Amino acid sequence: MKFNKTFAKLVLSSTLVFFGTGCSDFLEEPDQSNFTLENYFTKPEHAESVVNSCYESLRGTLGGGFGGAPWMMLEFGTGLANTELGQAQNSIFVRNLVNNSDNGYGATYWTNNYRGIANANLAIAKIPDIPMNEVAKKKYLGEARFLRALYYYELVRIFGNIPLISEPINLKSPELYPDQSTPEQIYKLIEADLIEAEASGLPVTDVTGRVTLGAIKSLLASVYLTMAGYPLQKKEYFQKAADKAKEVIDSGKFSLFPSYDDLHNPAKKNLGENIFMVQYAAFVLPSNWQSSIIPYNQGISAYTDETGAIFANKEFVESYQKGDKRAEEKQFYYKTFSLRSDRTKTRDLGGYYIYKLFDTEAQLSTTSSNLNWSILRYAEVLLTYAEAANESTGPTPAAYDAINKIRSRANLPALSGLTKEQFREAVWKERWYEMSFENKTWYDMARLRKAFNVSTRSFEDFVGHKFSYGPVLQARELLFPIPTAEIRNNDKLKQNPGY
């Protein structure tokens, strides 16, 4: 009998991952070796412990180093990123559109997100029976449902037809060899989870970085916008997306930062524009992509590993409208920097590196970054509202207000008097420019079936779009390949077309 290694690991991780999550009462039990899934969930602390384990997978695809990192897969798939790291073959295969199912980036996305789903399934199944305060119980379940929805949302957009598992599994479960479900079935669970999480009593904001009502509504707006596009094309969901984004806007709890510097200021994490983030802490659990976003061995950073793993294509940065503040030096990108050996001297780096992810203190001195990774920020909510409202009713004053807030911060003139079609492309362009290098653009390309031509500054069909450096997108690139190991270990899984 074939053995599905990935899902077996998920079963075991569900049992073990909540150990060491800071539950002091747990450590006082006389015989730790007797804890099992059947007898562990007896205290409120255990509910907190298993929900804490659900957050862990948020970090699994981030990072960097000389092998690149999985998050870069979504950036190289846009044709807007470059690399100096020749040994990072997984990055180069995606960038050159010769990707295959052996790519370790895709395998990490698959296993990491299913691990998060396994832990969320465990929380959702076990917490209801724990004797504890019902209000707190409901909130924990809301967090778990949000996180399960988020992990499925990532998987279904990347891989398409995927297994749908909503209950804990063990080595005897039929789901150990799961069938594939359609995107429509996956989105049905995502929507149901988020609607239930929305009613769980969570606060609108939370400076600790836990799931909030603001995050739930923001993610639901994003999900609805995607459901209105490809592959489902449920056009009625544009109005749902607009309505949900408007609820976030009307809450008055979020606002754009006045300065782009705030986007990568650790003191601003979980505040203002930052609706939901992956949490890091310097010297405890530092963010680990800093060495990846600096040029290769040019001696500008306190980090000795300067990998040049990812930076922006010149043609993309130079396609920003003249006067756009985001394209100015040390706003979203940087071309020059002082030398580690002598900070009075500045070097031209020869390319556009990513400043919006740059932790200045860590780069200059500590080499331990306190910077969070943004998953949902208010700028995206504004652009989601503008796009969805326009698709529903045309360019309303409220839709103009949303997009012009983004443009105003960029020192660009306000838009007015556009047709529905003109407004549509204006919003798309703002999404490409504003959300660059935040793992958003490839998802937009897939749901719109459109790509941005940096030479003409206009949008064209995804299939047949030529990257500025030569490769041409094919229909297969609308999804990434299901990892080889999953196909090999489960003959119910069918590979995506073209791989």
Per residue in 13-38, pLDDT tens? Answer: 433 343 333 333 322 344 444 567 77
Query: How far apart (Å, rounded) are the C-alpha atoms in residues 385 and 400?
Result: 10
Query: How far apart (Å, rounded) are the C-alpha atoms in residues 161 and 159?
Result: 6
- Are 307 and 64 a contacting pair, CB within 8 Å? yes
Name the residue among 111, 108, 136, 115 with its Cα closest to residue 53.
Answer: 115
- Supply the pLDDT for residue 173: 84
Other CB atoms within a 10 A radius of the CB of residue 361 amount to 16
Sign of torsion, CA 185 188 192 193? Answer: positive
**Strand, helix or coil at 312?**
strand
Output the CA–CA distances (angstroms, integers) from residue 426 to 154, 262, 401, 404, in the order listed: 26, 25, 13, 11
CA neighbours closer than 13 Å in the CB half-sphere of residue 388: 29
Structure tokens at 138: 């409901």
- Are 224 and 240 a contacting pair, CB within 8 Å? yes
Query: How far apart (Å, rounded) are the C-alpha atoms in residues 173 and 204?
Result: 38
Query: How far apart (Å, rounded) are the C-alpha atoms in residues 72 and 86?
Result: 14
**Strand, helix or coil at 133?**
coil
Look-up: residue for tokens 């020059």? 336
Domain residue spans in the chain? Answer: 280-371
Alpha-carbon Rg for the chain in angstroms: 22
CA 324 to the chain's CA centroid: 25
Name the residue among 133, 376, 205, 176 with its Cα closest to residue 278.
Answer: 376
CA 48 to the chain's CA centroid: 24
Maximum Cα–Cα distance across the chain: 72
- Are 333 and 324 a contacting pair, CB within 8 Å? no
- Supply the pLDDT for residue 349: 97
Sign of torsion, CA 231 234 235 240? Answer: negative
Output the CA–CA distances (angstroms, integers) from residue 78 to 72, 98, 102, 192, 297, in the order listed: 10, 14, 20, 30, 26
Look-up: residue for tokens 């530092």? 286
- Supply the pLDDT for residue 13: 40
Strand extents, DSSP E, 281-420: 311-312, 333-338, 346-354, 373-377
- Are 11 and 3 a contacting pair, CB within 8 Å? no
481 upstream amide cis, omega within 30 of 0: no
- Supply the pLDDT for residue 1: 33
- The CB-based long-range contact list for 36-43 (8 Å cut-off, 24+ gap) reads 37/122, 37/126, 37/168, 41/126, 41/127, 41/129, 41/130, 42/130, 42/131, 43/130, 43/132
- Are 263 and 355 a contacting pair, CB within 8 Å? no
Sign of torsion, CA 252 253 256 259? Answer: positive
Say which DSSP state 440 is in.
-
Q: What is the DSSP track for 271-307? A: STTEEEEE--BTTTB-B--GGGSS-TT-S-SS-S---
Q: Which residue numbers in the chain have pLDDT < 70?
A: 1-35
- Supply the pLDDT for residue 34: 54
Instruction: Tell me the three-class secondary structure of 443-454, residue by residue.
Output: HHHHHHCEEEEC
